Amino acid sequence: MKSLERSFVIIKPDGTVRRRIGALVIKALLERGYRVRAFKEMRVTRRLAEMHYAVHSEKPFFSWLVDFITSAPVLVLIFQAENVIQGIRDALGSTFVQKAEPSTLRGKYGIWAGVNIAHASDASETASEEIRLWTSEGGVVESDDAGSNALDYIERYAVGDTDFTMEIRSIVRDAIEERDTSETILESLTDLLRKDANGIENQEIEALARVIHEFVLEEIEKQ
């Protein structure tokens, strides 16, 4: 008998603030035939973020990563299917947006480097640990209506043609190339992120823009 696996997925703030993009990512995962066992929009506390990314706590990007994942709401999903863990990793593509194939979800919708749309478990042990953590610390629960909640989200947001991914990438790329550290960059990022941010607080949109801007400034500093 083939065994069912679970994968723990987070649509990160860049995919939740950009409502249509997040809905398209979830739609693409559902089209792979995966069943949704949990679906929850939530704000992540620093404590939960630090626990979730504990394996990266010694990395230089750790505090940036915690700032990123706590900047604005996320969508948390648990998917269940055969080989769902590898399947979702394949669908997402490489960690760094510029390295991800254009056909993958990160390649299509990721913004820059680690601002890459989604987290997905990398093995069955980590999936179990993540599900345990987010159940106890994040109030995530599996339920039979998770699938219909995900479909409702898609129906509501995967409409129209709003996609500012390329514009946002250009702003980031040009700023780094031109070593532009001005606040104008931050304002442009905020304006573009706001365009499809239904129900997201202004201060959260601004926090997400600041995190992306922070990355731009660090890249310029490194040059």
Task: Kindly name the residue from 52, 56, 119, 213 that is annotated as catalytic.
Answer: 119
The least distance separating ligand IDP from the CB of residue 199, rounded to whole angstroms, comes to 24
Residue with Cβ nearer ligand IDP (20 or 106)? 106
CA distance 196 to 17: 7
CA distance 151 to 200: 20
Q: What three-state secondary structure class fits 178? A: coil
The least distance separating ligand IDP from the CB of residue 116, rounded to whole angstroms, comes to 5
Residue with Cβ nearer ligand IDP (4 or 123)? 123
CA distance 193 to 199: 13
What lies within 8 Å, CB to CB, of 191 at 6+ separation is none
The least distance separating ligand IDP from the CB of residue 13, rounded to whole angstroms, comes to 11
Is residue 213 part of the annotated active site? The answer reads no
Residue with Cβ nearer ligand IDP (70 or 116)? 116
Binding positions for ligand IDP, rule: CB under 6 A: 56, 61, 65, 95, 113-114, 116, 119, 122
Residue with Cβ nearer ligand IDP (122 or 191)? 122
Pairing of strands 74-81, 5-11: antiparallel
The least distance separating ligand IDP from the CB of residue 155, rounded to whole angstroms, comes to 28
Residue pair 79/54 in contact by the 8 Å Cβ criterion: no
Q: Distances in Å between the alpha carbon of 181 and those of 71, 172, 174?
A: 21, 11, 11
CA distance 153 to 4: 25
Q: Which residues are catalytic?
A: 119
